[in-house]
Structures are given as C-alpha cells and as structure tokens.
Amino acid sequence: MTSFADLSPKDRTFMEQYPYRRSRWSEMAELRKPLGLARGALVTTAALHLPDQPPFDETVRGGDWSYREIPGDVEVARLRTSHRSKSFDRSGIEKDPNVAFPLDRLRELSVQGVLGVPLDRHFSFMGSITAPGSLIKETAPEVARKLREDGADWVLLSPV
C-alpha cells in the first residue's frame, strides 16, 4: 500500500493542505431481500468510458463532474480511462479494467447465485475532483435518481 512518503514533494504538500469537505453520513439502507436475488450496479471514479463516448475532460479546472453511463452488457476490456490525476497510475486499469470496474466478477457471482443479475447500466465518474460543487448538486443526485429508477438494491462504489 502506498503512503504519503511515496508521493512527490509537490503532491504530498497538496494532499496535506487540501481543504477536504466533511460530509454528513446517514444510515445505510437495509437490504430487504436475499443477496442472491438483489440486483445492483457499479459506480466507479476511474473515469472509464467506452471508445465511442467522449473521454472525461482532463482540462476542466477543479475536475470534470460529468458521468458516463456504462451498459450492463459491456465487454469490460473495451473500457478506457481518461483520469486526470498525475499521481494516478493507470497501468493496472489499462491492462484490466476489472481492477476498477469489476463487472465480470459480479457476473460470475450472479451465475453462482451469490448476487442477483447486475443491472442494465452502471456509472463512471472522474475522481480527483477538487471543486465538487456541481457534482454534489447536479450529477450525483441525477445518478442516484437513475439508480432508484433502475431498481438498484445495492451499489458497489469503486473509488480510485
């Protein structure tokens, strides 16, 4: 596992002085059906997108707060990343996007009866958003609404 000591002096100073936001946490929702019947979705911050989708805009000051819908039948190996962080090593995700978007593993668990069938769409955001106001006010609530509409019983968050 990496530590602050592994970062460059510039990145370490940034991380130590960054004005992190505090969030109010509320109780998690209770799962109301057996996990083997529960359906859910993945949400990642690896800035994954399909080749025919626009990449996340790495030039947006404060971070691109948009999202990409990822179809449930996607071939995970086709996903690409356009994450902006200079401190983010993309090599593992570029070799196997399941590292940050384990949809193939969820499919396997579904076949085994451990989980219900994954939903028909999943979502990808860019991480490293230093100005999250629009994310908090606009895109995150929009994705939450879509997950409710899709009938998500659970959501697996894959932060990177």
Which range marks the domain in which residue 135 is found? 39-158
Stated pTM of the model: 0.86
Profile the chain (160 residues) by mean pLDDT over runs of 10 residues: 77 80 75 94 95 93 94 96 74 87 97 96 91 93 97 93
Position 107: which residue type? R
How many independent structural domains does the chain possess?
1
Residue 45 covered by a domain: yes
Q: Can you give the pLDDT at residue 2?
A: 66
> What per-residue confidence (pLDDT) applies to 103?
97
- What string of H, E and C letters represents the secondary structure of the chain? CCCHHHCCHHHHHHHHHCCCCCCCCCCCCCCCCCCCCCCEEEEECECEECCCCCCCCCCCCCCCCCEEEEECCCCHHHCEECCCCCCCCCHHHHHCHHHCCCHHHHHHHHHCCCCCCCCCEEEEEECCCCCCHHHHHHHHHHHHHHHHHCCCCEEEEECC
User: Could you identify the residue written with the tokens 């994450």?
Assistant: 83
pLDDT at 130: 83
pLDDT at 140: 95
Within-domain flag for 27: no
Angle at 95 between CA 94 and CA 97, to 5 degrees: 65
* Confidence at residue 82, expressed as pLDDT on a 0 to 100 scale: 87
Cβ atoms within 10 Å of 135's Cβ, excluding its own: 20
Residue 48 lies in a domain: yes
pLDDT at 55: 95
Please check whether residue 104 lies inside any domain of the structure.
yes
- What is the predicted pLDDT for the residue at 52? 97
Residue 62 resides in a domain: yes
Q: What is the pLDDT of residue 87?
A: 64
What pLDDT does residue 19 have?
A: 78
